Amino acid sequence: MDIIRRNNVHTFGDGGGAPIVFAHGFGCDQNMWRFVAPAFAAAHRVVLFDHVGAGQSDSSAYDRRKYATLDGYATDVLEICHALELSRVILVGHSVSAMIGVLAAKREPGLFTALVLVGPSPRYINDDGYHGGFSTQDIEGLLTSLDSNYLGWSSTMAPVIMGNADRPELGAELTNSFCRTDPEIAAHFARVTFFSDNRRDLAAVRTPVLVLQCADDVIAPQAVGEYVHAQMPASRLVMMKATGHCPNLSAPQETIEAIQTFIRSLP
């Protein structure tokens, strides 16, 4: 299969810096980076794509066995990088794509110069000594609601995930993005995401890492960002002024500046 078509890959920019690959979160597509990615085009080759089942990707390529874990998505990221003959990649992963990036970097560390993890969570469910933000019952209830009425779930949950109640247009955009996703694929991806546990993968990544943690993030609370930072040997944690789970939409300039500062600090 044509990987570029499968994942609706787009590239732009011709700077001499390391290529930057932007990976979107659950229920989203590459359009969620439209306020951030162009700021890097002058100095970098910018790569945008849609996970299979999202945006304008080829949904016929969706295989429930392949995507039964986040490793299937990590495989796609690696295949995109190889198809474009990229090296020294900086991967910017939002939400679940933060852990997809961790898995990709763990498998092929030589491919990546750095990772930027925006609102990462290696495990969403609380465990002994670990606060992920949700109980197992919380997640089961969330997924039951999603399965029974995906559009209703989207209109209720998207504004909560986005935060920024004083800017309802942001919640509306995320709702619309959720509603454009195939419900069956979304339900499967949600189950894979919310029951994932990538805590043991963090320490294996020696690549420089930037963790961007928002305030009042109901999906990835501050304790989770601090945990990711503590577990990754070469990480730095930036506490953002932005609130909610999607600073790429709610605070793009702060997001851009944090990433640019990090890139300038790289060897």
Active site residue 177: no
Per the residue annotation, which of 44, 51, 57, 95 is the catalytic one?
A: 95
Element (H, E) at 102: helix 96-107
What are the φ/ψ torsions at residue 14 (nearest 5 degrees)? Answer: -140, 25
Asked if 100 and 23 touch (Cβ cutoff 8 Å), the reply is yes
- Detail the DSSP E strand segments found in 98-147: 112-118
Per the residue annotation, which of 24, 51, 229, 245 is the catalytic one?
A: 245
Active site residue 95: yes
What distance in Å separates the CA atoms of residue 128 and residue 45, rounded to the nearest whole number?
43
What distance in Å separates the CA atoms of residue 193 and residue 93, rounded to the nearest whole number?
14
What is the β-pairing status of strands 89-94 and 46-48?
Answer: unpaired
Asked if 242 and 254 touch (Cβ cutoff 8 Å), the reply is yes
Active site residue 217: yes
What is the β-pairing status of strands 112-118 and 89-94?
Answer: parallel
The DSSP code for 88 is S
The DSSP code for 245 is S
State the angle between helix axes of 136-148 and 183-194 in degrees (0 to 180), rounded to the nearest 10. 180
What distance in Å separates the CA atoms of residue 115 and residue 236, rounded to the nearest whole number?
11
Per the residue annotation, which of 97, 217, 235, 250 is the catalytic one?
A: 217
Q: Catalytic residue positions?
A: 95, 217, 245
